[in-house]
C-alpha cells in the first residue's frame, strides 16, 4: 500500500491505495481511518483492482472544515465523486462500513452514473421517513421502549467529543471493545446507556480487541491525537440536516448491483436491524446479503478473510 495526498475540488484528501485496474473506493466509519481497510486493499490489488481508501472528511490526514454544516451527506458523497475524478476515472465501485455505509448507499442512490455498484458493511440502507426527522424519532423510540439514552443523541451536545479527546487511547479502546464480536455478550454495548451515563462511561474494563495489535492501535491513536474528534462528531450533528437535504430523493431506490454484510453480533442491529428485512425492497439490485456468524461491528477488521471473499465474488461478478 502507498499513502499520498490528492487534491480534489472540495478539499485535500489523504489516501491509501494499492493495485491497478477497475477503481474501488472504500469509505470508513467512526472512529476509524482509511487504515481500517488495510486488509482489503492488498487482496483487491492482487485480484486486479485499484483499491483506494481515503481518510474521510474530518479524519486523519484529510482536511477538517470547521463548520458543522460542512459535514452533510451531500458533502460526503461529493467528496467521493471528486475523488473518482481526481484519480482520473469516470466510474468506481464504492464500499462503505459504519458511517461510510450511508455515504456509499447515498453515492449509489444519487450518482449511479459514477458509482456502478455498491457494497456496504454493518449499516443497511435506511430510506428517508417522511415526517420523521431522525433526532426526534430516536428520542421517541428510546423513551417508548425505556432503553435509556442513545449514543447518537449524546453526540449532538456541544463539546461531546472532549470525552474522547481527553484520553484518546482509552476512548478508542473503549469504542472498539464496546462493539466488538469478541466482547462477552453481557458487556457488549447495545448503543443505549442508562439515563445520565455517557457512552464511554458505560464501557468498563475495556481491552484492545484481538484483531488489533499494539502498533495498529498506536496508528489510530496518533491520527486522532493530531486531528481531534470535532470533525467526526459533526457527521452525527447533521442527522436532521441530512434528512431535510435528501427530501428530493424521497422514495428513490438504489438500482445498481449491491452487496450487504453484517456481523451476527453487531450492536447496530439493535437500532437499524429492521432495515435489513426491507433491504431488497429499497435496493432491488441487491445480489448478496450475508450475516457473518459471531462477528461484531468492525467487520472488515474482525473477519478480513470472509469480507474479502464476499467482496471479490461480488466484484468479479459485475
Distances (CA, A) of 294 to 210, 243, 264, 266: 14, 33, 5, 9
User: Could you give the maximum distance between any two Cα atoms of the chain, in Å?
Assistant: 51
Per the annotation, the verdict on 113 as an active-site residue is no
Instruction: Tell me how far the alpha carbon of residue 275 is from its chain's centroid.
Output: 16
251 catalytic residue (yes or no): no
Instruction: Please answer whether residues 180 and 209 qualify as being in contact, where contact means their C-beta atoms are separated by less than 8 angstroms.
Output: yes
Which alpha helices (DSSP H) does 62-149 contain, by range? 73-86, 100-110, 134-145
Which candidate in 55, 63, 98, 180 is catalytic?
98
Contact assessment for residue 91 and residue 25, using Cβ atoms and an 8 Å cutoff: no
Which residue in 252, 259, 256 sits closest to 95, CA to CA?
A: 259
Q: Which of 292, 312, 287, 310 is nearest to 302 (CA)?
A: 292
Q: Which residues are catalytic?
A: 98, 297
Amino acid at each position: 500500500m502507498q499513502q499520498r495526498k490528492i487534491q480534489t475540488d472540495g478539499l485535500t484528501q489523504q489516501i491509501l491505495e494499492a493495485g491497478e485496474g477497475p477503481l474501488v473506493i472504500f469509505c470508513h466509519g467512526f472512529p476509524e481511518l482509511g487504515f481500517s481497510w488495510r486488509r482489503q486493499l492488498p487482496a483487491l490489488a492482487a485480484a486486479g483492482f485499484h483499491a483506494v481508501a481515503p481518510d474521510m472528511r474530518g479524519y486523519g490526514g484529510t482536511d477538517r472544515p470547521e463548520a458543522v454544516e460542512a459535514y452533510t451527506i451531500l458533502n460526503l458523497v461529493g467528496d467521493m465523486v471528486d475523488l473518482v475524478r481526481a484519480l482520473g476515472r469516470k466510474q468506481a465501485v464504492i464500499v462503505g462500513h459504519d458511517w461510510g455505509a450511508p455515504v456509499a448507499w447515498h453515492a449509489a442512490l444519487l450518482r449511479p452514473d459514477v458509482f456502478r455498484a455498491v457494497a456496504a458493511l454493518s449499516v443497511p440502507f435506511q430510506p428517508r421517513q417522511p415526517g420523521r426527522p431522525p433526532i426526534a424519532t430516536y428520542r421517541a423510540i428510546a423513551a417508548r421502549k425505556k432503553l435509556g439514552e442513545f449514543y447518537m443523541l449524546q453526540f449532538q451536545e456541544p463539546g461531546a467529543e472532549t470525552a474522547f479527546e481527553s484520553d484518546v487511547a482509552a476512548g478508542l479502546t473503549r469504542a472498539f471493545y464496546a462493539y466488538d464480536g469478541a466482547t462477552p455478550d453481557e458487556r457488549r454495548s447495545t448503543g443505549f446507556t442508562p439515563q445520565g451515563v455517557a457512552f464511554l462511561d458505560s464501557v468498563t474494563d475495556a481491552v484492545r480487541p484481538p484483531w488489533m495489535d499494539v502498533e495498529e492501535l498506536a496508528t489510530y491513536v496518533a491520527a486522532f491525537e493530531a486531528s481531534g474528534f470535532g470533525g467526526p462528531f459533526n457527521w452525527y450533528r447533521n442527522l436532521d440536516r441530512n434528512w431535510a437535504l435528501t427530501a428530493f430523493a424521497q422514495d428513490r431506490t438504489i438500482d445498481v448491483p449491491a452487496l450487504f454484510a453484517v456481523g451476527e453480533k453487531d450492536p447496530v442491529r439493535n437500532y437499524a436491524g429492521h432495515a435489513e428485512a426491507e433491504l431488497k425492497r429499497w435496493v432491488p439490485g441487491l445480489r448478496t446479503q450475508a450475516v457473518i456468524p459471531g462477528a461484531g461491528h468492525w467487520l472488515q477488521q474482525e473477519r478480513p478473510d470472509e469480507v474479502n471473499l464476499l467482496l471479490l465474488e461480488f466484484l468479479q461478478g459485475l
